[in-house]
Structure 1
Amino acid sequence: MTLLHTVVVVGGGSAGIASAASLLKRRPDLDIAVIDPAETHAYQPGWTMVGGGVFDAKVTVRSEASVMPKGVTWIKQAAASFQPDDNQVTLTDGTEVRYEALVVAPGIRLAWEQITGLEGTLGQHGVTSNYRYDLAPYTWELVQQTKRGRAIFTQPPMPIKCAGAPQKAMYLSCDHWLRSDVLGQIEVEFHNAGGVLFGVADYVPALSEYIDKYAIDTQFGSNLIAVDGAARQATFATSEGEVTRDFDMLHVVPPQVAPQFLADSPLAAESGFTDVDPHTLQHVRYPNVFGLGDAGSMPNAKTMAAARKQAPVVAVNLLQQLAGHGPRAGYDGYGSCPLTVERGKIVLAEFGYGGKLMPSFPDWIIDGTRPQRLSWMLKADALPWIYWNGMLKGREWLAAPGNMVAQ
């Protein structure tokens, strides 16, 4: 069977739904199909707050049907392969979906299997991760239960979605232990496969103050490769060789890769992600294909805030392509990472390509390089509402496409 649509969007997550909504805002009669088999849609930035005992997990998910833009055709299947030379996507059941323009937004895959022994022990033996909806509540259980011993937090090699999330889990946990007067009995270790605390230097001083405040032992160039849950042991690859550490609590961030069906396709860059121009988000070889979100090859931080800025750019440039014109909107690499350094305070990191600071507010309202209460209110109260009622509805508050480029 063959289906025909003007625009096909692969992926019904943040990036896919936002781009479809932004397209319909500009062309309400546009024929759009969204391919995604999921029954639920998650506000994933909220899972950090679940793991810190701030949100209930249920408030972070809604039905996929409730966020699907009115007027699109929802194809409740998974994409299996791309045939861009034929303007076609093939689904897992063999159905062919043809398009005039394609939006590739399938997200990133959590590669739990790359850490030996991890999958069999997740959710038990003190092993958890805020990167999964069903595990974030277990993180909070462990934080409350842990009174002494060793708590280990890990960060794998880049790219990962939300590079600050591994630290967010750690800081919120430490803040609870400090308030509960047990932090002194807990050894906290942060094993980061990278070489720096945070990739944008302007935010490091504030974060370093919290590393000192919580007496966290930072281990750089230390990559988790194996977990023995029953023995409560974690093994890391370091420049000195393999190191095994006992733990009472282990918060794991898994390695992350492009979805295999994308990585195997003609659309992929060497990295496996959609090979697009980092500014126009147009594919470098197929001009009627656009990519955004975590599956894009752009060198920006993979965050929901980045997808919020990218969706309008894709909408403008895709419509330009359908009209026979070149792209005229550009993405500047904006990403945001609200670093929850303690309950009630956040370091609001906002930056673009090259680590350029890109604050949304003047310093006298929010100084993003310092922990602030107002930043916490933004993350805890405003951003979830903006996500559900703005970004997914095509309302481009603080996200209108700019940086016009030559046609």
Structure 2
Amino acid sequence: MANAVLRAQGHGRRVFDVSWLSARSLSGASGGHYKVLVLGGGSGGITMSARMKRKVGAENVAVNHYYQPIWTLVGAGAKTVKSSGRTTASVVPSGVKWIKSRVQEIDPDKNIVRTDDGKEISYQYLIVALGIQLHYEKIKGLPEGFEYPKIGSNYSVKTVEKTWKALQDFKEGNAIFSFPNTPVKCAGAPQKIMYLSDAYLRKTGKRPKANIIYNTSLPVLFGIKKYADSLWDIVKNRDLTINLRHNLIEVRADRQEAVFEKLDSPGETVVYQYEMLHVTPPMGPPDVLKQNPLADAGGWLDLDKDTLQHKTYPNVFGIGDCTSLPTAKTAAAVAAQSAVLDRTITKVMQKDKPDKRYDGYTSCPLVTSYNTVILAEFDYNGQPLETFPIDQSKERRIMGLWGGPGPYRKIMHLGMK
């Protein structure tokens, strides 16, 4: 039996440029049968394919992809889009078959996946790693507003360089950064670009003429108080304006106006003139999961939060942003989930009960300037779960982009944690 990875319309942590990819025809009406079928080509899908290839295998097919976490730095001019792209041959494990078709329908009752080229692919075990879907269209005036200058978004390869252009061209006025009223991947990213923009404007002498505004739909600056307290100190020291419970609902790009609804005052809106606007779009589960038996009421893959096994279909598993797991959606979370999921699937294949538990670990490196980071690491309960034996809520130069795997954490704490 072979292991296959299908690309779906959902957005993974690694975002693929599919504009030039055509669905490859498979011989016959059937797309074949696989022991393990992995849906999605983001970090979750790639990671689980690497782990599963030890159990099943097939040929490898290369396509092009981008590594999205770098895009925060692209938008701030510290990296280039080109540096974030590489061939999938360098990251997809050898022995993994890549089927260049989009997932159109999942039928878990029949153990079948239907693709957009009319094929049916059956499976014994299914791993769903379809990522999260961006919804710029839910903001009035977008995505067409991106055709105008002074507006960008680090969440799309088509708009991330526009962020850097808007920052470079900034003269004076409001630089506005938004956070939507939906779950998002890497909840720290929308404010990372704010801190980097502040640093750039200071470096170029433009900061005295800039009013930097962070409008977030959330009632807090960051969900974990320990790190939020440190961020509030930074905000105060750098004279940044934070407006809580403000949700971007319209962009009038031709007039350089952004309209926000005040979530605590229904029906009330406020209009901001901007010289620069960074948009974090509303996000949601992939369309293919919505109204599917695999989804919960919100459209997310309905998993047991401890074992990552589906609550209803025991031969279905999930990982990453498309899941119902109550933790932040980050690449670091995927890394922690993958070890648990690998063990869970192994036990299920052996007709045994899963015995390893995912504690909700996730990591969010909050980049606060071009060379400093607050490294937030925490679990399901919102409790810090830190790697280093120091206070990671303090802004430091030594952290870097750390994933914080458990074994290293234990070593760093001399076995005490």
Pair 1:244 & 2:268 matched? no
SS at match of 1:191: strand
* CA RMSD, 1 decimal: 2.1
SS of structure 2 residue aligned to 1:374:
coil
Q: Matched residues in 2 for 1:21 and 1:218: separation? A: 42
Q: Which residue of 2 aligns with 1:269?
A: 296
The counterpart of 1:214, out of the listed 238, 248, 268, is: 238
Determine whether 1:260 maps to 2:284: no
Equivalent of residue 154 in structure 1, options 174, 178, 181: 178
More helix by share: 1
Partner of 1:30: 56
| Residue 20 (structure 1) aligns with | 49
Query: Counterpart of 1:290 in 2: which secondary structure?
Result: strand
**1:291 corresponds to 2:318:** yes
Residue 158 of structure 1 and its aligned partner are, at CA, apart by 3.4
Q: Is the 8 A contact 1:23 1:316 kept in 2?
A: no
Q: Tell me, yes or no, if structure 1 residue 131 matches structure 2 residue 155.
A: yes
Q: 2-side partners of 1:355 and 1:89: how far apart?
A: 36
Residues 1:105 and 2:129 aligned together:
yes
Q: Which residue of 266, 278, 281 corresponds with 2:305?
A: 278
Q: Choose from 40, 43, 65 the match for 1:11.
A: 40
- TM norm structure 1: 0.88
Question: Could you tell me how far apart the structure 1 residues matched to 2:55 and 2:293 are?
Answer: 30
Q: 1:72 to 1:279 in 2, by over 3 A?
A: same
Cα distance in 2 for residues equivalent to 1:9 and 1:123: 36
Structure 1 residue corresponding to 2:72, chosen from 28, 48, 57: 48
CA distance in 1, matches of 2:203, 2:308: 45
1:206 touches 1:370 (CA, 8 Å); kept in 2?
yes
Q: So what's the TM-score if we normalise by structure 2?
A: 0.86
Tell me the CA shift for residue 31 of structure 1: 4.1
Paired position in structure 1 for 2:86: 62
Using the alignment, how far apart are the partners of 1:139 and 1:89 within structure 2? 38
The aligned counterpart of 1:405 is none
Per-residue deviation, 1:398: 5.3
Residue of 158, 163, 171 corresponding to 2:187: 163
Aligned residues: 378
Matches within 5 A, 1:89-104: 89-104=113-128
Residue 398 (structure 2) aligns with:
374
Higher RCO (Cα < 8 Å, 6 or more apart) = 1
Query: The residue matched to 1:350 in structure 2 has which SS?
Result: strand
Structure 1 residues 319-351: Cα deviation after superposition (integer angstroms, max 9, x where no partner): 211221111221111111111111110000011
**1:75 counterpart (99, 102, 115):** 99
Identify the residue that residue 317 of structure 1 maps to in structure 2. Answer: 344
Q: Deviations over 1:259-288 (max 9, x none)?
A: 111112110011111000111000000011
Indicate how the Cα distance of structure 1 residues 191 and 33 shifts in structure 2: closer, same or farther if over 3 A, else same. Answer: farther
Query: Is the contact made by 2:59 and 2:95 (CA closer than 8 Å) also made in structure 1?
Result: no
Contact 2:149 2:166 in 1 (8 A): no
Aligned to 2:207: 183
Matched-pair contact (CA < 8 Å) for 2:178–2:215: yes
SS of match in other structure, 2:46: helix
Counterpart of 2:333 in 1: which secondary structure? helix
- Counterpart Cα distance in 1 of 2:362 and 2:211: 32
Q: Which segments of 5 or more consecutive residues in structure 1 lack a partner in the other structure?
A: 401-407
8 Å CA contact 1:129–1:252 kept in 2: the answer is: yes
Verify the 8 A CA contact 1:156 1:253 in the aligned structure 2. Answer: yes
Identical-residue share of aligned pairs (%): 37
Q: Deviations over 1:285-317 (max 9, x none)?
A: 001100110001001100000011111211111
**What are the ranges of 5 or more consecutive residues in structure 2 without an aligned counterpart?**
1-28, 411-417
Given that residues 248 and 259 in structure 2 are in contact (C-alpha distance below 8 angstroms), is that contact kept between their aligned partners in structure 1?
yes
Question: Match of 2:277, SS?
Answer: strand
